[in-house]
Structure 1
Amino acid sequence: MAFDPDQSSPLLESEQSLEGSIDGNVDRNITLPKDQLRKILAALWIGSFLSALDSTVVATTMVGIASEFDDVKNVSWIATSYLLTNTVFQPLYGKTSDIVGRKLCLLFAQFWFTLGCLICCFSNSVTQFAIARAIAGIGGGGVSALSSIIVSDVVSLEDRGIYQGYANVIYGVAQALGGPIGGYLFQTIGWRWAFGIQVPFMLFCGVLAFNYVNIHAEHIPKGNKRFTRENLSRLDFAGSLTLVISTSALILLFSSDITTSGLYKSFVSFIAVIGFSAFIYVENYVAKEQIIPSNLIKGILGITAFVAAFGSMALYNSIFLTPQYLQVVENITPVSSGTFIMFQVLAVSFGSLVAGMYLRKSNDNEDNQSNDSSFTNEESKNEFIKARAIKISFFSILLIFVGMTLIDSQVYVTEPYSLGLVWRIILVIGLSFIGFGYGIFLVSLLIIVVATVGRSGQAAATGMNYLFRSTGNVLGVSISLSTYNNKVIGSLKSYLADKPNGSEIFEKLLENVNYLKDIQDASLKETLLNIYRKSFAVGFIPGVSFSFIALALTTYLITIRKK
């Protein structure tokens, strides 16, 4: 008899309790009508598409936007503000959706993302624009996290990898289009349209979510029971607040540069320490249900979370520094610099599909039987899939490390305004290695998490993994941009100190980097361009370091898996 879910019937079957998994649950295949599945995926993936498009639009236009406002010295806040709120709110969606339901949380996320895009259109300074991006980030984190969580609700673990591959193809195509579209709009009708055009599409996405995302997982209360005092008391407001404060303070600390006062850094450090201490106390002694259960940061799951963080730090180092390097040092237009990033994000899509197909073949492999006779066939399959996911995660991080090394080496040796072809090919290869590795990395880490905790625990675990990944995103951008800014500001200040009109040139470069193009003295211009080139090379070094740390962690992950 076909399963025909309605508004009151559970989407998931009862799950058999077994020893060996963290929450005692084992995945079972779910029979869901194809038409209903397509509508759910459309509601999720249209939002993910727009969120991804938005990210590379900003990456390729933020220097131009800041220059238009004569405030290049604060350009990092355009990227950091979105990533900050995206990071601190993302883990809250997982546990909250287990309490009040998936649809309500998804609609909440879509609302804030849409509002932020709308406010971007009317911004008149870097500060206003950064605030608008922060508002969009509140929703953007939920759109991404809930898309992953809901797909894990409605497909089997065996198929989860390939569906993540499909999702990453959509995400990758959007990111590939975002750079050229953002650059084109910036050069033609204006950058404001790049954000305004997203608003009607997000409203349509909200209509789809309202009508079709009716997920009734067995562990989520039904109907009005979700809003009873008893159920809502499960929400950890104190833990959420302290997590937001502490994570924000940490990100702000790493976003500071050499122009930031020591008093500010000390104050933010103090807030971070107090915030994290309060969070730990609340989670251990006050919270009825923890936002991030303690068992999710131990063993394989804990290592996986840190791999996610450092791998993402490397990726975002390349995404945000590469377009700036190309535009400033090599005099490449925003449209063309976006084309370079397109290779990277398309490689992410391809890597995700390859990883999904590889993991889906587990049923055809004769090794798909565990040596532990106490495992059920279903658990054996899950354990086997997890083992394969751990194996390919090492390969994925190795590719990211090689790609980062290639990019940093190329930037260090290539002269400014170079017309050569070889350096462009090396840059594309490096970006493609990073993208392909990251695509595999996304799928493999998600499968490790879901296979370890089971279906009913996957929302909180996915939220925690997204927290570390998003923290990696924002710290990758913050640390890289701060490293670059510190180097370029220090070098410019030192070089121009005794030059005629040096202080005036220095101030103009801080306000608008395009002033470089107006300098008539060829010798001065060449020296300044080389200062920027070497500063970018220094800025890529953290990305190389992040990928090396992630590689060491995946090696350890394989080691403890074999024990």
Structure 2
Amino acid sequence: MASPSHLESSPLLGDSRPKSRKNKDVGPLEVSTTTRYSILLGVWTATFLSSANMTLVPTMLPSISSEFQKSHQASWLGTAYLLATCTFTPLYGRLSDVMGRKAAAQTAVLFGGLGTIACGLSTNMEMLIAARFLAGIGGGGISTMAAIVVSDMYSLRSRGLAQGIASVFSGLGFGVGGPLGGLVTDWLGWRWAFLVQTPLFVLSILLITFKLEYVTPGSGKSAVEVLKRIDYLGSITLLISVGSTLIFLSTGYNEGLPWSDVTVIVPLVLSLVFFVLFVLIEIFVAREPVLAPFLLKEKVPVLVGISNFLVSSCNFAMSYYFPMWFQTVMSTSAAIAGLHSLPSSIAMPIGSVFTGWMMHRTGKYKVINLTFGILPFIAGVLIAQIREDSGPIQSWFSITPIGFGNAVVMQTTLVALLAHIQESHMAVATGFARLFGSLGQVAGVAVSSALFQTVLERELRMRIHGPDAEGTIKRIRQNAQIIDSLPGDQQRMARSSYDVGLKAVFWFAAFSTLLAYIVRLPIPEKDLGDEPKARGVTGSTTTNPSEGSISRR
């Protein structure tokens, strides 16, 4: 195998490893250039589809709601996907160590593909929501496995740049998902926006099946052993806790029910009870806990996890509510409103590639993080001060630093995390970091929604009075599209109320990312060039040090 210095000086996506052995007999750092490209194409194609599916649905909601006549359930199409992603993402780090890289990646892509196809074939809203949940089970695993595979095949110093290139695919998917969904929906119908993804899912799973053959240290497990080691209780309690929290926030804030209502109290109690159960199970019961409690005892993983949570909260709060400001306050079309988020989507992969290149070149990450990590807070403040008469620079480009800055943060914190843990814990730590990010995504949507609805209701009650004020306020809260049909004075009141409510969300996002910046300050620097690489087969190992035999992953 090539020496560490040779690895660092070779082209990032190139190859300088021995080619005398077959793919199934080599480690992840020894695979040929063609094989490496094929593996990356497989996992990054799935990454693109997973990211696109996060933003695909909003542009199709009018068509879906019109067909099924259940607009009150439409919000669960996005929530179900995020809920599944949050719950199952951390499992894949463990599964990749127990059942192997290939099998775990195949599982993720299979769930993602079957769920997406089921969405296109759904005959009612309930089936569509269930299909979105199924797709989310794979979606979280796809991103986790892509990060693990890249970490296998590249040295620590090169991982940042490789992950940066990976983010181009995720950023592209996130950016084109909405416009592509709207285009296909207008052209062929909303079902085809899901079904047209099928060939790419097939391509992804074929490449993974036939090319992801490298070996890593560890012990091969039978199917029975794999099933025994899955943390079912931890996953179920986490699912119920997060799901109950979402229901509580929806009923208590979005629907405006009193706190004494049983549909508000029961989800709140269940969320707290099952969260406590989840923690107890992870610490005392689970054989292979999804939370990896041992990482909670180490400073860097905890700081990275908290940062991921806060950064994801900011990203999703902005991505959901920034376009709404232009629709409700500025009365622009949905298409134009969506385009205002495009600069951030473009800046995100640029920031990731830039960060990876800088880390690869300098072997450092802390200065990059501190320098560019404050940009999202600055952007949040600028967005929170946006007005109807703001110029095009503030209206169109104030969100750009969020995409660029948070891309820098996510890249540098992942490398910092991997630099401060044992290589044998790499896969588990990746799942650990993704879990906090997924929780942040859910929080970003749910908490910002509760905050927005609370402020919006207060502002509407301050402005709108009269005999039918209660009904008018309820209609405005539930359907922003009716604003244009309101009388002139009420229309102005509604727009002003939406403006205040959305500004509250923007401030929430800004201070989330500021708090994330403060949390990251204690993360120490570590020279990435100092990582030892002298081992027989490079990659991640199982978390059990006694399992030293080599298995195919």
- Shorter-chain TM-score: which interval? 0.7 to 0.9
* CA separation of 1:551 and 1:64: change in aligned 2, threshold 3 A: farther
Equivalent-residue separation in structure 2 for 1:35 and 1:260 (angstroms): 58
Equivalent-residue separation in structure 2 for 1:506 and 1:189 (angstroms): 36
**3-state DSSP class of the match of 1:217?**
strand
Q: CA deviation at 1:453?
A: 1.8
**3-state DSSP class of the match of 2:229?**
coil
**3-state DSSP class of the match of 1:460?**
helix
* CA separation of 1:502 and 1:294: change in aligned 2, threshold 3 A: closer
Q: 2:482 aligned to 484, 502, 515, which one?
A: 515
* CA separation of 1:335 and 1:466: change in aligned 2, threshold 3 A: same
**3-state DSSP class of the match of 1:313?**
helix
**Partner in structure 2 of residue 227 of structure 1:** 223
Deviates most, 240-249 or 83-92: 240-249
5+ residue gaps, structure 2, are 1-16, 528-553
* CA separation of 1:70 and 1:503: change in aligned 2, threshold 3 A: farther
Q: CA deviation at 1:434?
A: 0.1
* CA separation of 1:5 and 1:352: change in aligned 2, threshold 3 A: farther
Q: Deviations over 1:132-165 (max 9, x none)?
A: 3222111110111111111111111111011011
**Partner in structure 2 of residue 11 of structure 1:** 27
Q: Deviations over 1:287-345 (max 9, x none)?
A: 33333332312211111110111011111111111122222322222322232222111
Aligned residue identity for 2:432:
M
Q: Deviations over 1:210-255 (max 9, x none)?
A: 2222242112x34xx44364x6543333333333333433444445
Q: CA deviation at 1:172?
A: 1.4
Q: CA deviation at 1:481?
A: 1.7
Q: CA deviation at 1:110?
A: 1.7
Equivalent-residue separation in structure 2 for 1:250 and 1:357 (angstroms): 40
Aligned residue identity for 1:345:
S
* CA separation of 1:457 and 1:109: change in aligned 2, threshold 3 A: same
The 5 Å alignment of 1:270-285 reads 270-285=269-284
Q: 1:248 aligned to 239, 243, 252, which one?
A: 243
**Partner in structure 2 of residue 406 of structure 1:** 382
Equivalent-residue separation in structure 2 for 1:190 and 1:117 (angstroms): 15
**Partner in structure 2 of residue 535 of structure 1:** 501
**Partner in structure 1 of residue 532 of structure 2:** none
Q: TM-score, normalised to structure 2's length?
A: 0.84
Equivalent-residue separation in structure 2 for 1:347 and 1:495 (angstroms): 39
Say how many residue pairs are matched.
506
Are the equivalent residues in 1 in contact too, given 2:463–2:493 (CA < 8 A)? no
**Partner in structure 2 of residue 330 of structure 1:** 330
Q: CA deviation at 1:74?
A: 5.2
Percent identical residues:
25
2:543 corresponds to 1:547: no
2:378 corresponds to 1:356: no
Are the equivalent residues in 1 in contact too, given 2:117–2:194 (CA < 8 A)? yes
Equivalent-residue separation in structure 2 for 1:331 and 1:4 (angstroms): 64
The 5 Å alignment of 1:152-191 reads 152-191=151-190
2:371 corresponds to 1:389: no
Q: CA deviation at 1:554?
A: 1.6
Aligned residue identity for 1:316:
F
2:238 corresponds to 1:238: no
**3-state DSSP class of the match of 1:168?**
helix
Equivalent-residue separation in structure 1 for 2:458 and 2:330 (angstroms): 21
Are the equivalent residues in 1 in contact too, given 2:464–2:493 (CA < 8 A)? no
* CA separation of 1:130 and 1:534: change in aligned 2, threshold 3 A: farther
5+ residue gaps, structure 1, are 13-29, 363-384, 415-419
Q: CA deviation at 1:445?
A: 1.2
**Partner in structure 1 of residue 46 of structure 2:** 47
**Partner in structure 1 of residue 56 of structure 2:** 57
**Partner in structure 2 of residue 430 of structure 1:** 398
**Partner in structure 2 of residue 22 of structure 1:** none
**Partner in structure 2 of residue 441 of structure 1:** 409
Are the equivalent residues in 2 in contact too, given 1:86–1:140 (CA < 8 A)? yes
Equivalent-residue separation in structure 2 for 1:5 and 1:235 (angstroms): 34
Aligned residue identity for 2:174:
Q
Equivalent-residue separation in structure 2 for 1:128 and 1:325 (angstroms): 31
**Partner in structure 2 of residue 16 of structure 1:** none
Q: CA deviation at 1:3?
A: 4.2
Equivalent-residue separation in structure 2 for 1:194 and 1:82 (angstroms): 16
Are the equivalent residues in 2 in contact too, given 1:115–1:136 (CA < 8 A)? yes
Equivalent-residue separation in structure 1 for 2:76 and 2:228 (angstroms): 36
**Partner in structure 1 of residue 102 of structure 2:** 103
Deviates most, 277-286 or 37-46: 277-286
Aligned residue identity for 1:479:
V
* CA separation of 1:177 and 1:232: change in aligned 2, threshold 3 A: closer
Q: Deviations over 1:150-201 (max 9, x none)?
A: 1111111111011011011121122222232233334454433322222332
* CA separation of 1:264 and 1:507: change in aligned 2, threshold 3 A: closer
Equivalent-residue separation in structure 2 for 1:90 and 1:82 (angstroms): 12
* CA separation of 1:541 and 1:92: change in aligned 2, threshold 3 A: same
Q: TM-score, normalised to structure 1's length?
A: 0.82
* CA separation of 1:73 and 1:528: change in aligned 2, threshold 3 A: farther
What value does the CA root-mean-square deviation take over the aligned residues? 2.8
Equivalent-residue separation in structure 1 for 2:407 and 2:270 (angstroms): 36
Q: CA deviation at 1:265?
A: 3.7
Are the equivalent residues in 2 in contact too, given 1:88–1:248 (CA < 8 A)? no
Aligned residue identity for 2:497:
I
Equivalent-residue separation in structure 1 for 2:508 and 2:126 (angstroms): 27
* CA separation of 1:228 and 1:50: change in aligned 2, threshold 3 A: closer
The 5 Å alignment of 1:80-159 reads 80-123=79-122, 128-159=127-158
Are the equivalent residues in 1 in contact too, given 2:419–2:526 (CA < 8 A)? no
Equivalent-residue separation in structure 1 for 2:461 and 2:74 (angstroms): 19
